[in-house]
Amino acid sequence: MIGEIISIGTELLLGQIVNTNASYLANKLAQLGIDTYYQTTVGDNKNRLLNSLKIAAERSDLIILTGGLGPTEDDLTKETVAEYLGIPLEKSAQELLKIKHYFKDRGLEWIDTNAKQADIISGSEILANEIGTAPGVALEHSNKLYVLLPGPPLEMKTMFENQVIPWLKNKTFKSEGHLYSHVLKFVGVTESKLEYLLMDLFQKQSQPTLALLAKPQEIQLRVTAKAKDWKTFCKLISPFVKEIKQRAGEYLFAVDEERAEDIIAEYLTAFNLTVGTAESCTGGMLSSALTALPGSSQYYLGSIISYHNKIKAGILGVPEGLLKEYGAVSEQVGRSMAERARKLMGSDIGIGITGIAGPGGGSCEKPVGLVYIALNARETSWCQRYYFSGDRENVRQQTVVAAQLLLLKYLRSVNH
């Protein structure tokens, strides 16, 4: 089965909001074994939407439309689909009552134009909106499946998960199986080098397929295949994943939905270890990442944001001699910050970060993007130098990821 997604809204075309709905739907359709060959974005214009529907119906079996189900004049999706299919709209008394109750329960003023949301394409299945007001619609017409969903992402996702997926599964379309993906996440390696290490696997790929995706702080490798179930999929890709890990395992840090902070939390909890940090250029961003998970107080003790040298020396306790001789952004100061963080917090591990995030403050000797990240444990002192590119926020974000990975590297060494 071939699916197509039509996203409706002039705000999407103007770039005022990011179209997360299309990404979500394409991923979910792949999991259902439905191939998505086309995605279209069209503004709030009846004629252009009619044209998009005509094109979609000629090349796809399932057409999913998001947006344009609201109460205003430019919400034209139901009316346009009804016109295209030659099916009249009819008012659903039950949906109208639900919408009126929604307004009443929240103390909102009722305006008669809201009743428009209760118009339903005759003969279609109503998809209840569990969060908002506009119901969705699902119908089969001339051997094509049409699904109309609201634009707000939370409403759309809830409706799709709870109602559209069961509706699609009940339809008698043939499927060769579900399309599954396993994502391997790499850092410390370029996209080109990773491809080079796996070149023959890319050249010979058929089932499964491999695809690289470069993200700001990582390179993702997606392994995709069709299989009747997840267990069969895992068995199918197992030799490929094993080979990938043998060649590029030193750069692999997480898979699928895993995040560095999740893995770090598992290690710290399992080993009963604690961490304290001292941050300069990141201004607490590492602390925020490490405390994002519930229960992080079990392993994370605290931080000193030593942005100014007088804080580095006076409160953190970095020797003034190091600051004068080597400067705040140096390996020596980074190591001292990590050691002082560990001792002041009474933690097992200390991490120190010092660098130049920019846009000013750099020099030929110490350019913008230069960062030192240090880790100190009772019998260990590591420090790595980095040169990050991009704007100030990019440098800071890359620094946090690098610090997490340094910590993860240490924890894995403890495990071995």
114-138 pLDDT, tens digit each:
999 999 999 999 999 999 999 999 9
Q: Which residues of 247-258 are buried (b: 16+ CB within 10 A; e: fewer)?
A: ebeebbbbeeee
Q: Please give the Cα distance from 80 to 67 (Å, whole number).
A: 12
**Reported pTM:** 0.65
Centre a 10 Å sphere on the Cβ of residue 263 and count the other Cβ atoms it contains. Answer: 19
Tokens of 89: 């709209």
Provide the residue type at 31 as one letter: Q
Can you tell me the distance from the alpha carbon of 102 to that of 114, in angstroms, rounded to the nearest whole number?
A: 11
Confidence of residue 276 (pLDDT cuts 50, 70, 90): very high
Query: What's the pLDDT at 214?
Result: 85
pLDDT in the model for residue 172: 55
Nearest 5 degrees, angle CA 62-CA 7-CA 18?
A: 135
Write out pLDDT tens, residues 213-222. Answer: 887 678 999 9
Which H, E and C letters describe 90-126, residue by residue? EECHHHHHHHHHHHHHCCCCCCHHHHHHHEEECCCEE
The pLDDT assigned to 416 comes to: 59
Sorted by where each starts, the structural domains of the chain and their CATH numbers stand as 2-170 (3.40.980.10), 178-255 (3.30.70.2860), 260-415 (3.90.950.20)
DSSP 170-224: HS----S-EEEEEEEEE-SS-HHHHHHHTHHHHHH-SSSEEEEEEETTEEEEEEE
Could you report the per-residue pLDDT of 220-262, keeping only the tens digit for each?
Answer: 999 988 888 889 999 999 999 999 999 998 888 889 988 888 9
Over the Cα atoms of the chain, what is R_g? Answer: 27
Beta strand 370-377 pairing with 380-387? antiparallel
